[in-house]
Structures are given as structure tokens and as C-alpha cells.
Structure 1
Amino acid sequence: MANMFLSRRNFMIITLLMLLTLIEGLLGDKGEKDLRVKSLSRVKRGWVWNQFFVLEEYTEQKPLYIGKLHSDMDKGDGSIKYILSGEGAGTTFTLDDSTGDIHAIRRLDREVKAQYVLRAQARNRETGRPLEPESEFIVKIQDINDNEPKFLDGPYRATIPEMSPVGTYVIRVTAVDADDPSYGNSARVVYSILEGQPYFSVDPKTGDVRVSLAEMDREVREQYQLVIQAKDMEGQLGGLAGTTTVNITLSDVNDNPPKFTQKLYQMSVLESGPVGSVVGRIQAKDRDIGINAEMKYSIIDGDGRDSFDISVDASNLYGVITIKKPLNFERKRSYTLKVEGSNAHVDPRFANKGPFSDVTIVHVSVEDVDEAPEFDSPFYYVEVPEDAEIGTVFKMVSARDPDAANNSIRYSIERMSDPEKFFYMDITSGSLMTLLPLDREEVSWHNLTVLAMEMNNPSKIGSVSVAIKVLDVNDNPPSLTQYYEAFVCEHAKAGQLIQTVTAVDPDEPTGGQHFYYSLAPEAANNPNFTLRDNQDNSAWILTRRGGWSSRTQSVYYLPIFVSDGDQPAQSSTSTLTIRVCSCDADGNVLSCNAEAYTLPASLSRAALIAILACAFILFVMIILMLSLRRQSKKPYLTKEEENVHENIVRYDDEGGGEEDTEAFDIYALWSPRVEPLANYSKLRQDMLPEVQSLSRYVPQPCVSRIGEDGTNVHGYVLAKIYEADSDPCAPPYDSLQTYAYEGEGSIAESLSSLQSPASQTDHEYDYLNDWGPRFHKLAEMYGVSDENIPMW
């Protein structure tokens, strides 16, 4: 198959080589050398027998002939059939199966696909049998200059410092050409600058942009824009070109000194301005920007260097003048400051251009204000003994008007600082004195606020704190720490410790408390107990004998005398109660005066639980009884009984009893025959003795009956009834107040004795209807005249 592939290009190359050989013979050695160089520079590939070449971008309508397939077995009689397969076979390339001619039927673009790999085979047209093995060949797309250079990273941005020297590197620009760089000059690019001269230049081969003009000043011009061109074909005529822009910014350097906007500043400040308050601001401007424009300020001279200070603000551009010390218009009314402003960051490359600082003068005037009075001390501390007499002057405060007018001052105590008014302040002299007795044990410190006010301007008030410490005086007697109650066992022996006592004293002497203990003088020779002072502010109570018996004497009272060691000495007497108790062998108390201090040892836990259980059962039974009692109540007055009398009063509370009916005229119910009884002046008594003389009002037969038989209860009751009925101040029975039923839910329950909790039977009230006849029978029995019987 070596002679199977014969393209038109191969034929042209062979022809060209033959012409070159002929020319070499004609031109000689020199021409031979030149032609050899030319040929070597133009022809880049050696001839390959199994490949075809075709130019890209073929635009004619008819198919483009590429080459021819041929087999040595082809006799030209059409018995051989050529077959084409591989990339683009049938779509991009077509084959005449009889002649073997290959054509391109589509436009080819090398930048899309640079070559196609195809396979060719010759077969017998009738039998389809391969005549030769399948062979592979390549169709290469030959490049033409159809793509211009492109800057894929453009547009470009770059920053360089101002005042950069010539040749300073700025940035590199790169253009890419899609054409084949290995064939011809289609992809060989050169760079040139179209806009931006004379400030910048570009290297034609590398694309490096550099500074071409010295000392470019940012303050004059900050932004530059360059237009750079990239052209292929090594820049020759007919080459394609592309452009891009490069934006270059000059960054600032500290090459300018600062300048104050004013050579003299005038400022004023109130003398009352607090330390640290702002007086004014100054500025030294700099043509530079950023950190190169940042300033620092300092006061380098002037009579206000000690009274004022200067600092830079948050922007690091302005100088802020503040008060360093309190000002006083009366002492000094103006100040002069010499202020220097300089760059905070100096570039050493430009240090030789001169001083990067400037100086200005600041004149500050102090303005007068009406100031509050000032005390001669910022704080007062005073000590006063608690026994100081009322009216004692213990401190004098002094204040003055700081203004030139020097107005008079009046003093007072701020009300809230002394709400109980322990102290008094003299309004003119400032003398501080006591107004009430002091007691260190109640209040040990007093913190007063003293006010000073100008006479001519009451709104100007000065204040000062006065701390008063109340000093201790030994004015409280010591006493035992608590109420002590000791016990001594019946089998105790002499010298046995039964109680340790301590004392307390509200006073606080300087050297600390020291108490002295002893028995009171009346118990100095006590035969039963003695006291031992331990000299450590405690004392022991000891027995002086044995043989104690609670039957003989169960309680002893021992007076103890306690005194302190301060001057004047204070003392007190306390009584210690000592009980004689029966104890076990270990000294544990069993009982004292029939009052158990501890449970008997024989009482077990089971017995204690049984006692508690019985108490609980008893409590439950009481609750149940009360509940049954409430449930068994029922109304005692039915509808038939509602007409007992027209004056029946019902209560759901305890009420006032009979006194609630005082407004009712009960005399209308009395018979005229009993009017003589109204002459008696005796008032009814609710509480009368059971045994008294009944002979004053009771008829004689009744008295005689009682006298005959002292046990005649019937006669005794009759006499009592008659006595009650004869009382003109007692209401008649037909105005009886019924309390038998108070309604459901009354928390007072029943107050009437007609229904007792012990009785479960209802009372009968019909005796009110038949009481008159019964009483007349009784009167006839005992011989009582009808004239003395009330009408019912």
C-alpha cells in the first residue's frame, strides 16, 4: 500500500524539491546556503507518506479535493471498491469508491479540530473480500491566519508609587493567538502602546509595561490609562491585531510637609470647665493622603503648657486641645500655646526635602462664671464621744466664694443626711453641734452633707461630706449572755461543775472586754454553791456540798454579780436558777419537780407509738361526733308553729337577746289589775342567788308550803315564777324569743338551752297555749287571789 496514498500536495513537494536542486546547481555555494536556510525556515515537516493536508476555512460551494486512494491491484476495470471509515467519514469527508478520490464536504476549522484519523481498505466489488489489509492515514488541517490576538486577562489594573524612577516595572500583559504557532507567523505576536506615552512603555516581545517618565506626582495626576496592541505576523502588514487597556493608579508617598490652616488660633473656655473637657481643635493639612497625612501634635512652648494638653482625634488629622488642670479666672485669665504639627510617618526617601512639620500659635481666654462656694477641705472627719452634752460644738467648717465678689456664705445640713436631726449647724459660723443625745450602741457613724450657699445667688451651692464617728463610753453594764437554768443531780458531790456562764457588753473598750464574776453580796457565803472566775470572761458554778434532795428543796436561786474593767466601771446582777433533779448513773436527768426533762429509760418506742395512736383515734372520734350532731339538726318551727306570737324574732347570729325587743311596747299586754306591781322599784337581775327571801312578793300560802317542807320543789318553782311575773321590768312570756334553730350553716350553732346536745328529743312549745289555765289551778290550790295573777 506504499503507493496507495498519493496526494496533490505530495506531488507538489516532490516537484519543488527537484526545482530547488536545479537552482542550487545554478547559484553555487552561496546561493545554496541561502536557499537551504530559506527552505529550512519555511518547511517545518518532513514528508509523511500516509497523511493528507488541507487548508482550513475553505468557503467554495463545490467539494474540496483532498487526495486519492490507490491500490496496485487496481487495473482500472472497476472491480475494486474503496471503503473509507474513521473520524468524519461520510459527514465531513466523502470517498468515490471506484476512483478513490477523497473530498471535504464541510468547512474545516483547525482551531476546532486540527486533524482527523481515517482508515482505508480495498475490497473486491463482487465478492467483498479484502484485497489488502486496512490502512490508517491522517488528514491534517493546515492553518491560515484567521484569528487575531486576544488579551484574556484584560482590562488590566496596576498601582505604583508616585515618584517612581524610569524603568520601574508596572505589569505584564499577555495576548493569546489561536492560530498554529508551529506553522508560519500566524501566532507570532508583538506588542506596542497606542496610548499612554510618554509616561509608560511596553516591551514588544514580553508585554512588560514599565515607567518611562520620571517623578510622576500623584498630587498632580493620579490615574493613567494605557491602550496596548498585540499584532500577529510579527507585526507585518496584513497581520491581525487586538487591544486592551491598562489602568494605572499612582499610590501616595509622604513627599509633602504639613501646613497649618491658620498661623494664629483664638479660643475661649469657661473657668468651670472640668478637666479633660475640649477647648478647641486645630489642623495641619497635608496634600498627602492615608497614613501619610496622619499628624501628631505637641505643645512645645507657651505659658499654658501645664494647664492644657493636646492630642490627636480618631481620624489622626486634627489636634484636640483639652483642659489639663482646673482653671481660675481670678488667678489667670489667658494663656498662650505654641503648637507643632508633624507627620506621624515620614518616608526616609524624602526626608531631605525639608522639615515635615509646621508651627502655630493658640491663644486661650478664660471666661468668668459664678462659681459655687468652696470648702477649705474636700472631706471632714470628726470624732465625738457618745456622752457629749447637747449643744456641744465639735467641728467648724469653712467655705468661701471663689469669685471676685466674695459673697457671704450661709451653712446648713442636707436634710436627708440627718433625718433624725441629731446635729445642728450654725447658719453663719459653720459650727457643727449636737442636738440630740448620741448613743454609739445604736448608731456608731453619722455621715452628714453640709451645704454652703451664697447669699446673693442661692442657686450656687457647695457641699462637703462630714463623717462623724461616735466614740464609745462605758455606759452599759455587762450581763449574762443568756438566761441560764442549771440543774444539779441529787447524788452530786461537792466541787462538781454544774454551769459555765459568760457575759456580754454592748460597749467596745479599746483594750477589749474583760469581765469580773462573783456572787452577789447577799450570796457571798452561800453554803450550797460557789463561783470561780476563770479570768477568760467566763465563770464556773460549782457545788459546795453533796446530799441534795428535791423533796427538801427543789429550786435554788443564785445571784451572780458581773462587772467590766473599763472606767467608770459598770456592773449588773443576774439570777441563775438551779433545779435539783433525779439523774441516772451517767448524770442524765430523769425528772425535776415532777416535770420530766427526758423520757424515762423504760419507755420504749413501741409504747410511745401506742400512746400517739390512741390520741389520734380519740381525735377522730370527736370529729365524727361533731359531724353527726350537725347532720341530726332540723328546723324546730314548722309552718303550723310560725304563729306562736307576732313578735317572734329569728337570728342567724348570736344577737343581743332580749334587749333586741326594747322597742316593743310590752305594757299593752299587761292587765290593769297588775298596775300596782309597777310601783315596785326592784329591777330584774339575771344573776340572783339561789337562796334568798321570797316573802316579799310570794303569797303567804306559797311561803307556808315552803316552810312546811323545805324540799317542796313544786312550791319553790311556783314562787320563782311568781317573782318573775311580778317584776314590771320583765317581758311577758308571750314575747318569748326563740333561739332553738338558727338555720343551716351557722358557725355559732345553737345558742338555745331548749335543745341541748345531750338531748335528742324535740321540745314541745304548746305550754305557751295552756299555761294560763294551769297557772289558775295552781293559784286556787295555794289560795292565791285572781287579782294578783296577770292576764295572759
Structure 2
Amino acid sequence: MNDNAPTFSGPLEFSVSEQCSPDTEIGLVTATDLDEKDTLHVKIKYSLLSGIELFSIHPESGMLIAKTSNLDREVQVVHKVVVEIRDMNGDEKGLFNTATATVTLVDINDNPPTFREATYKVRIDENQADVLVLRIPVDDKDEKKTKNWNAKLVITEGNENGNFRIDTDPETNEGLLYVVKPLDYEKGKVVKMKVTAQNEAPLAGTSASWVSIPLELSVGDVDEGPEFSPPHLVLLVNENTPNGTLLSTYAALDPETKSSAGMRYYNVDDPNSWINVGENTGELKVANTINLKSPLVTNAMYNITIKAVDKSGKSGNGTVTLLIKDVNDNMPEIDKGELVLCEEPNGGRGSVTIVAVDPDLPPYSTPFNFQLPDGHDGKWRLRSIQNNSAVLEQATDMPRGLYRVPVRVSDLQGQGGVQEVQVRVCRCLGGQCAPQRSSAMLGVWGVLAMLLALLLLLLLCIHFVFACTTKGEKVYIDDSSGGMLLMSNTEGPGEDVKSAHLLTIPPTCDSADGSLKKGFLDRMGATSPVSQHQTGQQINQHLIGQQMNQNSFYQTSMRDSLSQGQKGFYSSGRYGGATYTDAALLKQSQLSALYTWQTNGLYLDKKLGYFGDEAEERYADDLLTPYGYEGEGSPAGSVGCCSNLGDQDNLDFLDSLGSKFKTLADICLDREEDIP
């Protein structure tokens, strides 16, 4: 049974461009029926119940169609039509449904913008720039904020010099007229323009065209400063032009009077001070040497700014550009550095490339001409001469070393001269000269000689150390028993007990060295000679295993009874053990011992002076000090500042030193019996 009415199954919102042509398909209306398929119960017929004057619908397919071309969005944007669907192929007994379809018209640029005024007049003073002169409102019926509505105003006449610019206010769609270049009252009091209003999108669907209106702009007169004519002067000048040369006269005029009377001219910007400007005339004269190679010259151009000041104090600036022409004032120069010519591995002859530089510009520079001057030695030749270089190669085999090769180089105009090229011929390693083998051999011998000299110097120093400073470790005792006393360190701390009296050399004494005794006797005026035989006997009596002609150092201390009746005498020193046969050698031995005693005496005298100059509090520190001796305390007590300071020439103090020095003397000195 036909018990189901048809229903709409698709959207009912459509759009179409305004001013579309008749029979334009707008959209398809769809419907369904739940009754049995392929029967009259599901056969649907479409029809419009409203809007039939503008639209139509196909009864079987449901296609909605524009019926006319008078669809105008500016009149009505949205159209609503009622659509009916009925089954049974539209029979009155069939079941049906209705719905409203919406058709929205899409805007096209069928309305050009229009001006609110038929003409505009405005005034502006001369010499003003980047100033808003006028706001020009326009109207447009098309959809706002679209390309069909956005206005674009164009100056179609009167802006040949580019003095004006028109922008658009995006919010109000107004045209904004600006003056971008100053106007000159003297050149034109009134500027007439034509302004046309357009859209961003082209016109469509209409026969209308863009609208234009006239615009008149009056220029106000202002007292202006002087003006240079032309504003930018270009002068061609040769470099090195003589000073004082007149290049041109650059004068300025008062725009109102068209006169340059009373003008004064000044040089505002001239970094190299190349031009002098006549203060009253505007004459441009060369002041300093014009040099094309100056760092302030760019592309052979040098700019200068000149200022003109009229009687009222108003000023104007002009620019002078010097277009500098090059002259041939430089010669090509070869690098003065040393070139390295490496020997070929296979024994072939090597070559080097020489390069020349000329700061002049063509045609006064490259290509250069390289030649070997007349009368050269024939050891070199040139080849592969290029723009600014040439290859110098050996013409004959030659030994390694530094060579000075004369080469004549000249520029394209033939200006140049002979220059020396330093070439070092050598065996190379890594592009640099390697050291020669002969130099390496000399270096080895030199190092060996230095090492040998250092070794000899070291041996000499060791010899002097043993000969001059080393003391014997053994002290021989002048005793028939042949025993010896070994030096031993004390087991406890002690004080310096040396006294100036102990180091005084007596007039005459006996010692283990007979030559020393004879030396002292000679000093005191003794006349009895001592023979070499007697000296040897004395040495044999006091030394064990000592050779007669052997030089040695030894230390001894003794106490002898002199044959003249003198008391015992203490002596300690270092003496040579050689025998002497003449007075010169005896005196030398005497001086050696004397210098030793004098040195010790100076030291002890200085110390005694220190004891005497110190304050009294210093002696409070001089306390009795026990001296360790074989593990036992010393009965001698302190050996300090209270030692005998008597006359150095008196030897009686040796018999009255007391127990203080007894223990020390037993250890350090050799005691002998008095000689009868």
C-alpha cells in the first residue's frame, strides 16, 4: 500500500553568483520514499510553490535553476523558495511533503567605487615632504572587506615628477594623498591632477567603468635658501693635477630673485682637502694632489659637498663629484722577497714564478713585459710570460746558493726598469730549503768540540777543588812510633773556640816541612842556609811513607821547643810537601801559609769586633756550655767570649790558657817535647 509520503534527503541551501545568466543550474533537491521500488508509489514529482518568477525546478530530477539574469545581490542577498515533493508522479491522491530552500547570491564586482565630491581643492607650502595633504572618501556597493570593495586610488595625471603618493585607509576605504617630494613655488604655483578610483578586483557583470575626478593643489610661497644649478655637478679631472688649477665655477641662485649676488660659498665635506672653494665666486681650484689610489675614492669617483649662504642667512647645498682619470705615475714592482728554486728530483733544472704589481689602472698597468737585460750572464731565461707574471728558469746547471738575477719589467706603456730578483737554489723539503749535508757535518763536529771543552773544564774544576780546598782525612803525628790520628766529629754541640792568637805565625818554628821552617827563618832575617839534604831528613823523620819530590796537602798542629829558648808554639795550616832548593820557591811557600793565616785572622777579628760592639745583654747569653767528649762531660767549661784577647805578638798566653783549652788541645793539637 502507498502508506509512506516522500521525504527530503539532501541539503536545501544553495548559492549562485549575482547577474548569472538564465538557465544557470543552482543545485539539486533530493528526496526518498520507503514504499516498494519500481512502483508508482515511489515515483516523485518536484514543484515550486513560491519564487517561481526567479527560479524553476525540474519536475523529475529536482534540479533548481535560475530563471532570469536580474539576480542582484545589492538588491536582495538571500532568496527563499518553497519546494513540494509528491509521489504517485504528482497525482492529487498521492502523498506529499514541502520544505523551504535558501538561495544566496554571491557578490561580483559589478559596482565601481564612486567619489562623494565632484572635485577637490587643497593648499600646501613649498619645500614640504612626507606630508598628508588630503583624505579622499569613496563609496562602493559591493561586499565590504573584499577585493570588490577595497578602493585603489590612482593619480592618472599631474604626477609626472613623482611628487605625490596615494595610499588607502583599510578601515574607511579612503584615499590618502601625500606629498613625498617638496614642491617649488617658483616652478609652479598650482598643480592640477586627476584621480581615478578603482578596486583591487576588475569590474564584472556591468558596463560601468572606473570613475575619475579632478584635483587642484595650490603651492604656497616660502622664503627659500639658495639653490645650486645643477644640484649635482660632475667634473672630469686627471690625478696629479697641479695645485691651483681651476676646475669649474659652481654658483648658486636665490630662487626668488634668480641672482647669486651676495652669496658666500663654503667647503662642507672634502675628506682629502683636494678642492678650495672661492668664498665669493664659487670657483673650484685644486688644493692638494689628487690621487686615484686614495681609499676614499670609489669607482674613480670622489664626492665633495659645497654650501651656499645668502644675505638672509639661508643656505643650500650642492654636490660635486670628481671623476678622476688615471695617469701612468707608477712602475711595476717585483716582490723584494727571496724566491726558493727547488732542485728537481731527477736532476733537472728548476724554475720559479716572479710576479709584478702596478697600482695604476689600464691602460697604464698590465699586461707587463718581462726581459733579461743586455749583458746578463746567460745562466737564466724567461718563459711563460703572462698578464703580470713570468717564469724564471735555470739555463745552466749551477751550485746551490743565493743568486741575484736582474730582470727588466715594464707596463703596457713601456714604463719600467731593471729590478733584482733574489733566487735561492737549494734542495727542498716540503717547499722549503732543507739544510745542506756539509752544514750538518759541521754541526756534529761543533757539538763534539763543545762537549770536549766542557769535559776538560769539568776536569780542571775537579783538579782545583782537590788542590785548593780538600783537606786530608788523616793527620800525621811527628812521632817515631809512626801512628796517626783519625779526624772524628764531636758527639755534642760546641762553640767556635778559635782565637786570633792561635792563628798567628811565629817568627821561627819547627814544622813537619823543613822548607816552611826555612821560609819563616828567611822572613825573620835568619842567614843560615838549609840544604836540600837536611830538609829531606826532617821530612823523613816526621812523615811516614811520604815521597821527597811529591806534592801533597796535609794538616798538622804541633807544639815545638825552639832552639832559641822560646816556649811551645801551636800551629795549624795547609802546606805543600815538596822540597825547595832556592829562595824564590821558599818565599812562595811562605806566602801561601801567610795568606791562610791572614784570612783566618780577618774573620776572627771581625767576630771579636762583633762581641765588643754588642750591648751588655748579649753576654748574658754566653753561658757555660758542656762539650761532649767520648761520651763524658768536658771539665773545661765554656769556651766563649771570655777567651784571651791579649796581644797577638805575645806568645806567653799559650802557657796560661788553663784547663779550658786543655781537653781541646789534647784532641786537636800535636804535642811535642821541648827541643833542648
Shorter-chain TM-score: which interval?
0.3 to 0.5
Normalization by structure 2: what TM-score?
A: 0.46
Larger Rg: 1
Instruction: Give the number of the structure with larger relative contact order, counting CA–CA contacts within 8 Å between residues 6 or more apart.
Output: 2
